[in-house]
Amino acid sequence: MTANAPILHNKTIVISGGTSGIGYQLVKLLAPHNQLVVIARPGPRLDALATDYATVHTYGADLADTSQYEPVVDLIMKEHPSIDVLINNAAVQYPATLLDKAFSLESISQEVNLNFTAVCALTALFLPSLLKARHGGLIVNMNSGLALAPKTGSAVYCASKAAMNSFSQSLRYQLEGTRASVVQVFLPLVDTPMTQGRGGGKISAERAACDILDAIGKGRATVNIGKVKALRVLFAIAPFLARRILKSG
């Protein structure tokens, strides 16, 4: 593991959704060598981060609510005027299909806003600071193998991740020649609270976080974690088979 790679040393790093799963594991690995700014829903888990880690500064916000983006970023920028890294990690997935009685129209905006709109908004709002970062600003977008092809369930989640993939690629083009760059991470099924009771063969959140930081430390712009590496190969030689595998989730 190279979680302490110089590229992620002595930085001010914003992480959305850092209270559980991969986000929490990233906080644990990065806190000893950086100043961390964690944006997550208010509650005991967020409060505990500030208590447990002297270098972690917490800001409560529900990123499914678009009206909260500018106020929380304004507050962060007043207290941390120089941001070096933004990790767009927060996400939610509702497994119901549109045919299920449990499907809720409200869940559409929640998934789209948290998984995609927040990524665009936080990137835009923090970008002026990232562009001035002394050693170059870094935007890390945490994506899923489902961005490459959807599964049957969680159609809105899959669509939001596909949108993030397109956004990340376009943003990378826009930032050519600037001091900021984009890293996109494609994850397999990871053992987190969001995936409880779903699927098998998961990797641990700790393993995923270590692999992510190792790849970033090596300067990779596209990071394929775990089974996503094999999925990329399969897409190249048998795209129909790859889509069929993802269809079943």
Catalytic residue ranges? 157
The CA distance from 84 to 26, in Å, is 16
Q: Are 205 and 25 in contact (CB under 8 A)?
A: yes
Structure tokens at 141: 């977008």
Amino acid present at 100: D
The answer for residues whose C-beta is within 8 angstroms of residue 59's C-beta and 6 or more apart is 37, 38, 39, 72, 75, 76
The CA distance from 158 to 125, in Å, is 25
The CA distance from 139 to 88, in Å, is 8
Q: How many Cβ atoms are within 10 Å of 43's Cβ, its own excluded?
A: 10
Helix ranges (H only) for the chain are 21-30, 44-52, 69-79, 105-112, 118-130, 155-174, 205-217, 228-237, 239-247
Q: Are 133 and 118 in contact (CB under 8 A)?
A: no
Query: What is the full DSSP assignment across 173-187?
Result: HHTTTSSEEEEEEEE
Structure tokens at 61: 């916000």
